[in-house]
Amino acid sequence: MRQHFCSILSVTELSTMSILWYITGLLLLRSCTPGFSMHDGIVGGKVSIPHSRPYMVYIRDSQSKAVCDGFLVREDFVMTAAHCKYSHLKVYLGVNDTNFLPDGVAVDPIPHPHFINNKPGHDIMLLKLKTPATLNKTVKTVPLPEKESHKHCMVMGWGLLGYHDASHPSKVLREANVTLLDSKNCGTKDTLCSAGKIGPAMGDSGGPLVCGDVAQGIVSYYRLESNGDHCSRYTDISKYLPWIHDKMKPPTPQQHETWKDNLAKVV
């Protein structure tokens, strides 16, 4: 069943939406270090061609309504930021317009064990889908990197549209081109970064940094520099490949036993 949100709203409803998005923003900001925060939205860029990024995943907590982005890396795994971990997460596949969401899929979150709230680093999480995705034209996976590469990349998401306007999230997927800076100026060793007035935003946390058709990074946080620029940070996926492959290993034969197998052993 699809959920539909009416686009014709009263003043009271608009006010209520503004408050809800403001609260959502505060929830996302709690995971950033002092002096660090996500932007208020995808700033610049353009609207994506519908379903042209079929690996994109909309993530929402069914109770707090906090939202993040993610991306499908296998039929049964979504990757996102560890600071997007909430208690009642659901993922929505094949989404373009968030006014029309398909049924959500429940997940088991697997955040990196070294991630600590309010500290940079290790901001990566896998979400194991309790019902694997059916791949089709609007739902596809994106490859993971074999090593760090490329400098010209793209970010995308459903975040808010302006740096200071907390009442206007994008209902449709947007994307923007960014150029990566020298990694030695990015802070922690597991971080990639870009700077300027175009890039990821609040509500875009956990989305992919795609470089050369490969998911190279995960939107994490930004820092306001002394010159007024916003320096966006992304978790460098290539630094976590051993951990990712370990967590995504298929179950062993012992783990895959059916109740019939166990009954045969008892008999």
The β-bridge partners of 127 are 78, 109
**Same structural domain, 217 and 118:** no
Q: In total, how many domains does the chain have?
A: 2
What is the structure's pLDDT at 31?
35
**Same structural domain, 164 and 231:** yes
Q: Catalytic pick from 39, 83, 112, 122?
A: 83
Domain-embedded: residue 21 = yes
* 208: CATH: 2.40.10.10
Domain-embedded: residue 258 = no
Domain-embedded: residue 233 = yes
**Same structural domain, 181 and 218:** yes
**Same structural domain, 124 and 193:** no
* pTM (predicted TM-score): 0.78
d(CA 105, CA 75): 12
Q: What band does 6 get if pLDDT is binned at 50, 70 and 90?
A: very low
Mean pLDDT highest for which of 43-52, 99-108, 197-206?
Answer: 99-108
Out of 61, 95, 129, pick the residue that ends a domain: 129
**Same structural domain, 200 and 115:** no
Domain of 115?
3-33+52-129
Q: For 132-144, write each residue's pLDDT tens digit.
A: 999 999 999 999 9
**Same structural domain, 116 and 172:** no
Q: For 41-50, write each residue's pLDDT tens digit.
A: 466 779 999 9
pLDDT at 38 over 80: no
**Same structural domain, 26 and 90:** yes
Cα-Cα-Cα-Cα dihedral sign, residues 8, 11, 12, 13: positive
Give the up-direction half-sphere exposure of residue 163: CA atoms within 13 A in the CB hemisphere.
Answer: 10
Domain-embedded: residue 62 = yes
pLDDT at 194 over 60: yes
Domain-embedded: residue 85 = yes
Q: Catalytic pick from 61, 69, 76, 123?
A: 123
**Backbone angle region of 105, left / alpha / beta, with phi > 0 → left and psi within -120 to 50 → alpha:** beta
Q: Catalytic pick from 37, 170, 205, 220?
A: 205
15 or 149, greater pLDDT: 149
**Same structural domain, 172 and 97:** no
What is the structure's pLDDT at 96?
94
Domain-embedded: residue 45 = no
Domain-embedded: residue 47 = no
- H or E segment to which residue 105 belongs: strand 105-111
**Same structural domain, 18 and 125:** yes
Domain-embedded: residue 140 = no
Is residue 205 part of the annotated active site? The answer reads yes
Is residue 61 part of the annotated active site? The answer reads no
